[in-house]
Structure 1
Amino acid sequence: MTQRLPASLTPLETVLTALLRALEPVQPIEVPLSDALCCIAAEMQPLPAHPPHDVAATDGWALRANDLVGASSYSPLPLAAPPAWVEAGDAMPCACDCVLDAELVEVGGPIAQVLAEAIPGQGVRRKGQDIAEGSLVAEAGQRLLPRDLLIARTAGIERLKVRRPRLHIVNIPGATATANLLAESARSAGAEVISREAGARDAASIVAAFEDAACDLLITIGGSGVGRTDAAVSALAARGEVITHGIALQPGRTAAVGRLGKTPVVALPGAPDQAFAAWWALALPVLDRLTGRRPRRTLSLPLSRKIASLVGIAEFVLLERQRDAWMPIAVGELSLDAIARAEAFLVVPGGSEGFAAGRPIDAYMLRE
């Protein structure tokens, strides 16, 4: 038996407060660098300086710049002792602070001669130039990017501490394309994703799919509406607790939230547009809390045209940047083309009638 939407929908802010109540970040784990990309960094140990001492940046002759004052091709400077040859990456010899190219030093005669001046540090990578002593691979709460892993590898680090929640996706048959989209979004947000498809759309099959769902966040996709074959919310009620079904969010109002024991559950609609909006508005804030992620980046730009919104419903708006302004490309109804084009989003609060053209808006970036 399916569950009907209540006559009044629960405000989005109320739902988020209930979902996030008493929710804490998961404990850090260590993972190899190959698994760390897109994870959220936990506390990092300070790094040693790299290079650990001055090294040659190029192949050439190691010398002291102050000894070369006045040297030129017209007035070669003889050296009292033969210079030292270094390869890129070699430690600089004691008292040497520059490297001259091979053709700028003549060593064929009985006395080596220098044909050019130099400045201290020329051709040299100074100690700590690549990685300053005491710096971090990434600040706690930041998403690990390829450049962060480059720093870790350069510093000789093989494993990093991250917070990586286990996210279990239960796909109700008929919503596979949406499940794949959200699984990729979850991985890029730092989650370890396990996907499983329920055997059928009935409540018993969905409950059975819950049995192996030992996780930090459970997502169901599909079957959250009020149709005769929509049983995801009934399954949640049978196995755990339904906090609310029917949310004042457009699109995504048939979403539901609840708990299985202490594990938060978000039941997303199967339609891509509704699932996309509910994922960003409901599930990602939970995932961000579990990862200990810092607040997501926003970009403030004026609206190029007004956004009109119905009072009482929080409306999901997709935005595209055009001429240093936010252009709304979808409000409340999201096409797949708009989802693919969008660069940012905002949620118009349920108590607002919208925003006037020209008003600066802080929008959340969809692409990092």
Structure 2
Amino acid sequence: MTRTFSSTGPLTLLEAALDALLHGVMPVTPRLVPLEQALGYVAAGMPPVVPAQPVRDIAAIDGWACRALDLVGASAYSPLVLPVAPIWVETGEAMPEDRDCMLQAGLVDCSGPMIQAAAEAVPGQGVRRAGEDMAAARPPMLEGKAIGVADLLVARKVGLSQLAIRSPRVRVIDVAADSHETFSMRLVVESLSASGVSIVGIETVERDAASIIVALDGEACDFLLLIGGTGDGHADVTAEALARRGVLIGHGIALRPGGTTAIGRLGKTPVVALAGSPHQAFAGFLALVQPVLDRLSGRSERPGIILPLSRKISSAVGLYELVLLGKERDMWTPLAVGDFSLDAMRLADAWLAVPGDSEGYAAGTPVSAFPLRNF
């Protein structure tokens, strides 16, 4: 049963907020998409590829297919006459049945009455053996991993035209306000797109509780995001609307930045209301939205990158503080702690959360951080 929190009580611990959001949430049903649409989405399970790749020995270079035994002792100073004529083969073509190595074009002289080789070779030289690229009965994709360009190459090589993905349907409600919150809405939508989700709708509503309540019951989705109206100002009515609709679980998370984020459940659908300022929305997305998207997409655990700190991180006890980090000379350098400037957000390579029971980390401490970019 989901635990209920008061919007006016003490701050909700981040762990409790995540437990409430993720309670009963399961990966969405896979669907097939064409290869050209699959890049960046999280792969679902697929039947294994039965044939090995390549299915037979192929040439790895352009050149002459030879028999290694015929080349023993051949050199540029003492060319050998070949008892059997070599066969020209292009890269990727099947090796002739009785040939086991390749020589480059300039190492075989076919200009005279006798064909001569000017180098030795060992069996398998210049050859890609059957099964060397991929053994038989291997899955074409790694379930739970984001599909990359190499995955698409494998899919095409084994003759697939579609891939199974899990792509949560996310609906976005923009609680209209001034321009800086419009920037936040775009930031969140672009972050969603980069996370491999299907955005089923973006709706802008007036900043009043009644309009927000009506918008909550829109098109069905797997995850509902609201942006704006979660602070303590007179016009910040998003949490009030969630409470009146019976959706609110908690308003005010023990998190910095992102502390005014509100969370809830609309039936079985997780709901997160992000603050309107860009740095607060960005932090709430990292700490609360991304874990829900990972669960819905069936994504495997995101591994952190462990590097020592170039300087210490000081953190307030009682709050999870998010830290933006830059990677410099195989060390993490703190760029922002608990309050993000736009410049820190732009330059950051990774982030971490300092637990509420910690005062931070000393310089040189190895810490695990989650990448914000592809290393």
Q: What TM-score, normalized by structure 1, do the two folds share?
A: 0.91
Aligned partner of 1:170 among 169, 173, 197: 173
Aligned-residue offset at 1:103: 3.5
Match of 1:347 in 2: 353
Distance 1:362 1:214 in 2: 37
Distance 1:228 1:303, change over 3 A: same
User: Is 2:102 the counterpart of 1:99?
Assistant: yes
Structure 1 runs (4+) deviating above 6 angstroms are none
User: Is 2:232 the counterpart of 1:226?
Assistant: yes
Look up the equivalent residue of 1:99 and give its one-letter code. M
Does structure 1 retain, via aligned residues, the 8 Å contact 2:173–2:205? Answer: no
Aligned-residue offset at 1:96: 0.4
Aligned partner of 1:125 among 124, 128, 140: 128
Distance 2:92 2:194 in 1: 36
Match of 2:119 in 1: 116
Aligned-residue offset at 1:238: 3.7
**Structure 1, gaps ≥5 residues long:** none
Does structure 1 retain, via aligned residues, the 8 Å contact 2:70–2:83? Answer: no
1:1-368 matches, cutoff 5 A: 6-47=8-49, 48-174=51-177, 175-368=181-374
Distance 2:364 2:109 in 1: 68
Q: Which has the higher mean CA deviation after the structures are superposed, 355-364 or 91-100?
A: 355-364
Aligned-residue offset at 1:258: 0.5
Aligned-residue offset at 1:129: 2.7
Does structure 1 retain, via aligned residues, the 8 Å contact 2:7–2:250? Answer: no
Aligned residues: 365
Distance 2:114 2:329 in 1: 65
Distance 1:106 1:208, change over 3 A: same
The C-alpha deviation readout for 1:271-318, integer Å capped at 9, x for no partner, is 011011111111111111111211112122233333222222221111
**Structure 2, gaps ≥5 residues long:** 1-5
Does structure 1 retain, via aligned residues, the 8 Å contact 2:7–2:239? Answer: no
Aligned-residue offset at 1:7: 4.5
Distance 1:85 1:275, change over 3 A: same
Aligned-residue offset at 1:110: 4.0
Look up the equivalent residue of 2:34 and give its one-letter code. P
Distance 1:222 1:86 in 2: 64
Does structure 1 retain, via aligned residues, the 8 Å contact 2:71–2:82? Answer: no
Match of 2:3 in 1: none
Does structure 2 retain, via aligned residues, the 8 Å contact 1:170–1:221? Answer: yes
Distance 2:121 2:332 in 1: 51
Look up the equivalent residue of 1:11 and give its one-letter code. L
Aligned-residue offset at 1:235: 2.8
CA RMSD of aligned residues (A): 2.1
The C-alpha deviation readout for 1:315-336, integer Å capped at 9, x for no partner, is 1111222343322221111111
Secondary structure class of the residue paired with 2:205: coil
Distance 1:355 1:58, change over 3 A: closer
Q: Percent same amino acid at aligned positions?
A: 52
Aligned-residue offset at 1:176: 2.2
Does structure 2 retain, via aligned residues, the 8 Å contact 1:315–1:349? Answer: yes
Look up the equivalent residue of 1:171 and give its one-letter code. D
